[in-house]
């Protein structure tokens, strides 16, 4: 997995080199400080890890550098580094620093355009995962919040080359996702072992503008999803896939923006799986959002995603399904509030009967004092459910809240 990270980072660097040294440049530093509270750090409702709580202090400096060209392709280069240090005052083993790095490069000339988006997340946290001894072992969905506080490196890229001619559009797309877990692996009962995973795909989309600013889309993707082995287990749910995509993108009206895409996902699994697992499957892939501007001060966004994903905490594969709705109201040019509802489900594939769902309800508010200082606050309630019998500890309730301030220099 380390070789994937090194190769992909090299590609990211090469992608942004052509514009380096040009001008004009814009430099934007900022500092964000948050004070929060988490009443269930280990996502457990039973056992010795149940209901551990802590105040959490987060400090995130940010350095952003951008370049806007004025000739030729008029390239826009954006570089950002924003490390976030989080301190758990009652549970110092959960302290971590998350290094967020972005490098985006885009440009346009005549009918051609390109967009090269790269993000790297490096987590410097505990080298060990928790050991769960209560009935049910690990929390629902593998305890994502716990996972994201531990040693890991994550790379995502999304490269797009597009050509527009009249009412027609053609684009090539290449994406990469690499998740390199760097925690220790152990055979201790109840210890959560994380399993590296990666995905690479590429393809083309063709579009026809059937109404102003709105395209009908048909596309194709070929990809590979990789799951690393765990200890000496022969099981691995790696697969090749092909997708046929159909969708609508654009603004059919001034008050609505659509990005609706979906279609069949045809899978061929490689390696060894458990008895009874179907090595050739057809599933549904969906990645869609719709934003409605109800009034100049009110906006509703709906989201749905559904795709097959190899597990990060075991030898399995599941359908990753998200339904989300958010509502934002702008009270004044400086004050706004947002409501959020989300259902996030992992539906493990046959012969497994595991099904986990995390329901989230949240509210946040933001206020801009002036051009330099802005304030924010938020609260989230999580309720986790699992259909596995006699595993009550997989289910939990979690409350988190925070207040914060950001200063832009």
The CATH number of the domain where 225 resides is what? 2.40.160
Asked whether the predicted pLDDT for residue 318 surpasses 80, the reply is yes
| DSSP bridge partners of 340 | 326, 362
Cα distances (Å, whole numbers) of residue 257 to 93, 215, 305:
44, 12, 17
Which of 199-203, 338-342, 354-358 is predicted least confidently?
A: 354-358
User: Within a 10 A sphere around the Cβ of 36, how many other Cβ atoms?
Assistant: 19
Q: What is the pTM of this model?
A: 0.91
Residue with more model confidence, 18 or 99: 99
The Cα–Cα gap between 4 and 9 comes to 9
Asked whether the predicted pLDDT for residue 17 surpasses 80, the reply is no
HSE at residue 380, side-chain half, CA atoms within 13 A, is 17
| Percent of the chain scoring above 70 in pLDDT | 94
pLDDT given at position 21: 45
Average pLDDT, the chain: 92
pLDDT given at position 16: 44
Decide: 76 and 101 in contact? Cβ < 8 Å: no
Q: If pLDDT is split at 50, 70 and 90, which confidence band does 23 have?
A: low
Residue 379: domain span? 2-408
Which of 78-87, 264-273, 321-330 is predicted least confidently?
A: 264-273
- Average pLDDT rounded to a whole number, residues 51-64: 97
Q: If pLDDT is split at 50, 70 and 90, which confidence band does 5 have?
A: very low
Q: If pLDDT is split at 50, 70 and 90, which confidence band does 229 have?
A: confident
Domain count, the chain: 1
Cα distances (Å, whole numbers) of residue 97 to 52, 108, 137, 178, 303:
21, 37, 27, 19, 30
pLDDT digits (tens, 9 = 90+) for 279-303: 999 999 999 999 999 999 999 999 9
Question: End-to-end CA distance of the chain, in Å?
Answer: 39
Alpha-carbon torsion angle 240, 271, 143, 148, nearest 10: -60
Angle, alpha carbons 170-261-343 (nearest 5°): 150
Asked whether the predicted pLDDT for residue 45 surpasses 70, the reply is yes
pLDDT digits (tens, 9 = 90+) for 363-407: 999 999 999 999 999 999 999 999 877 777 889 999 999 999 999
Which of 70-79, 82-91, 129-138, 174-183 is predicted least confidently?
A: 129-138
Which of 134-138, 182-186, 405-409 is predicted least confidently?
A: 134-138
- Average pLDDT rounded to a whole number, residues 201-211: 97
Decide: 359 and 382 in contact? Cβ < 8 Å: yes
């Amino acid at each position: 997995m380390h070789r994937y990270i090194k190769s992909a980072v090299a590609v990211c660097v090469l992608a942004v080199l052509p514009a380096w040294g040009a001008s004009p440049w814009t430099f934007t530093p900022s500092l964000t400080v948050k004070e929060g509270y988490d009443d269930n750090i280990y996502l457990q409702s039973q056992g010795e890890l149940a209901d551990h709580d802590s105040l959490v202090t987060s400090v995130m400096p940010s350095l952003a550098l951008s370049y806007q060209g004025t000739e030729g392709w008029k390239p826009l280069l954006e570089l950002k580094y924003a490390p976030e240090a989080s301190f758990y005052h009652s549970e110092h083993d959960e302290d971590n620093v998350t290094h967020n790095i972005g490098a985006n490069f885009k440009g346009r000339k005549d009918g051609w355009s390109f967009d090269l988006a790269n993000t790297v997340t490096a987590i410097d946290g505990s080298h060990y995962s928790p050991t769960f001894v209560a009935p049910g072992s690990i929390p629902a969905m593998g305890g994502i919040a716990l996972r994201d506080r531990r040693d890991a490196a994550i790379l995502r890229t999304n490269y797009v080359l597009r050509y527009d001619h009249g009412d027609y559009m053609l684009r090539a797309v290449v994406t990469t996702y690499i998740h390199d877990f760097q925690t220790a692996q152990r055979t201790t009962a109840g210890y959560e072992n994380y399993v590296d995973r990666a995905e690479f795909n590429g393809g083309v989309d063709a579009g026809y503008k059937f109404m102003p600013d709105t395209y009908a889309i048909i596309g194709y993707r070929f990809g590979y999803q990789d799951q690393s082995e765990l200890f000496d287990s022969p099981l691995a749910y790696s697969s090749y896939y092909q997708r046929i995509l159909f969708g609508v993108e654009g603004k059919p009206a001034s008050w609505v923006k659509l990005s609706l895409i979906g279609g069949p996902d045809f899978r061929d699994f490689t390696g060894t799986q458990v008895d009874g697992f179907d090595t050739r499957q057809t599933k549904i892939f969906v990645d869609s959002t719709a934003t409605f501007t109800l009034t100049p001060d009110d906006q509703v966004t709906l989201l749905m995603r559904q795709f097959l994903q190899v597990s990060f905490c075991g030898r399995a594969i599941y359908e990753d399904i998200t339904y989300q709705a958010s509502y934002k109201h702008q009270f004044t040019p400086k004050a706004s509030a947002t409501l959020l509802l989300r259902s996030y489900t992992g539906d493990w594939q046959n012969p497994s009967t595991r099904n986990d769902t995390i329901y989230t309800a949240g509210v946040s508010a933001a206020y801009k004092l002036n051009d330099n200082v802005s304030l924010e606050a938020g609260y989230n309630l999580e309720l986790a459910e699992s259909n596995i019998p006699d595993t009550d500890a997989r289910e939990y309730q979690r409350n988190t809240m925070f207040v914060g301030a950001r200063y832009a220099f």
